[in-house]
Amino acid sequence: MYTAPFQYLRANSVADAEQLFKEHADAKYLAGGQTLIPTMKQRLATPPALIDIGRIGALSFIRREKDKLVIGAGTRHADVADSAEVKAAVPALAVLAGQIGDPAVRHKGTLGGSLANNDPAADYPAAALALGARVRTTRRVIDAREFFTGLFETALEEGEIITEVAFPVPERTGYAKFPNPASRYALVGVFVAKFRDAVSVAVTGAAPCVFRHTEMERALARSFSPDAVAGVKVSADGLNSDLFASAEYRAHLIGVMAKRAVAAALQ
């Protein structure tokens, strides 16, 4: 299967990439390509030019800085999953990265690509939102809480590139997902982060966009245990309903995945 014709351009730096973007109207950035290329093969996307940012070495790193973990936007899922630094600082982030797609996809797909695409069933948005990550771009720093704006929509402007993401290191983290058995995307995924003074719970896969479950957060702040989650009623209002799962089933799964995520965080 061939994509529509396009012009391939390779960027050697983010500055180079932004310059190329200015010179080529309607171009798209190509990072790992694990979503973009299948989309182009189905002709659901037909960009006239691709700017390859997947080989910019400076975008690929994992670094611990005191109370945060900073990961370059070009870092592959497999590298996050295997990183001793990630496992030590935010263990659930390594677990999450190791559950994206399959091994071959994880060798190509990138953190920045996943966040920028903001697929409603992608895993990384849940971690970024729950942890209150700071998304650094070529132009500014965006709080994860303002970054995810809707279905496949983010606060990114035309041509703006994510360069790194800083994840605050909490006391405990847990991630549990119920994967679609075919695609491995989350039917429902729940990321739980326990900070010294607060708990945050982010849900992916269930609604048009990743969101925080504040009722669950309050219950877990009172008592950080799977039982605390069991008492929270999850509404099906606004949740997705499709051939894989009804909104009611997804609401039920949010409770189950949240319990599992908390149990994982307590291990």
Interaction site with another protein (CB under 8 A): 1-8, 10, 30, 33-34, 37-38, 41-42, 50, 52, 54-55, 78, 101-105, 107-108, 182-184
CB of 75 to another protein, least distance (A): 14
State how far the Cα of 208 lies from the Cα of 234, in Å rounded to an integer.
16
- The burial of 197, by beta-carbon neighbours within 10 Å (0-12 exposed, 13-18 middle, 19 or more buried), is given as exposed
For another protein, the closer of residues 48 and 238 by Cβ is 48
For another protein, the closer of residues 54 and 120 by Cβ is 54
CB of 46 to another protein, least distance (A): 11
Q: Is 205 left (phi over 0), alpha (psi -120 to 50) or beta?
A: left
CB of 12 to another protein, least distance (A): 13
State how far the Cα of 161 lies from the Cα of 230, in Å rounded to an integer.
40
Q: Give the 3-state secondary structure of residue 115.
A: helix
For another protein, the closer of residues 38 and 231 by Cβ is 38
Taking alpha carbons only, the member of 106, 115, 257 closest to residue 177 is 257
Strands 49-52 and 28-30, by their bridges, are parallel
For another protein, the closer of residues 2 and 237 by Cβ is 2
CB of 52 to another protein, least distance (A): 6
Q: Which residues of 243-261 are buried (b: 16+ CB within 10 A; e: fewer)?
A: ebbebebbbebbbbbbbbb
For another protein, the closer of residues 185 and 191 by Cβ is 185
For another protein, the closer of residues 39 and 246 by Cβ is 39
Task: Name the residue with tokens 């310059």.
Answer: 19
Q: Round to the nearest angstrom and report the end-to-end CA distance of the chain.
A: 46
Structure tokens at 88: 């030590």
State how far the Cα of 145 lies from the Cα of 111, in Å rounded to an integer.
17
CB of 94 to another protein, least distance (A): 14
For another protein, the closer of residues 46 and 235 by Cβ is 46
CB of 35 to another protein, least distance (A): 9
CB of 10 to another protein, least distance (A): 8
